[in-house]
Amino acid sequence: MKISKTRVGIAVVTVVLAVGCVAGAGCAAQQPEPSNAVAGTETTPKLMPAQHQKYVDRTAYKCYRCHGASVQGNPTAKNAVAMPNGHYVNNDPSTFELDPIRNECRSCHSVDPNKKLGDDATYEEAEVETGQEGLDD
């Protein structure tokens, strides 16, 4: 019995496609789970109000000192917006420790020059409350 070249070609292509599908499925199944810091925070990062530009420009200011959890409360500064639980190690603010991929707030949160929130006195009060006053002198 003679097998035609066309049938051999079709058989080879079928085997190659089958192997490719199996290999692709195996790779897809082995992708790592996202960090705990990503879980529950898949939304677009919030923009900071215009008054935060000075904090972005002067890296001596630390976002966590106002917005993070501490023994003083969550957030530390009474008028600040608290960081989402998903930003902390094990999604737990009581650890007082950010997940390492969340250490640089400025990489996701930018300043909206048209967004105004509070007045200068509110920010000055938060700087004093968190020990960050005078950092821009």
User: Is the per-residue pLDDT at 14 higher than 70?
Assistant: yes
**pLDDT tens string 70-100:** 999 999 999 899 999 999 999 999 999 999 9
State the residue for tokens 């080879």.
12
Residue 135 pLDDT:
78
Q: Which of 12-16, 95-99, 100-104, 118-122 has the lowest mean pLDDT?
A: 12-16
Q: Tell me how far CA of residue 12 lies from CA of 4, 8, 15, 17, 122, in angstroms.
A: 13, 6, 5, 9, 72
Residue 33 pLDDT:
52
Confidence at 114, pLDDT banded by 50, 70, 90? very high
Nearest CA among 34, 35, 37, 33 for reference residue 88: 37
Angle, CA of 124, 126 and 132, to the nearest 5°: 80
Largest CA distance in the chain: 93
More confident residue, 24 or 17: 17
Q: What is the pTM of this model?
A: 0.64
User: Is the per-residue pLDDT at 37 higher than 80?
Assistant: no
The domain spans of the chain are 1-31, 50-129
- Burial class from Cβ neighbours inside 10 Å (0-12, 13-18, 19+) for residue 123 reads buried
Residue 105 pLDDT:
87
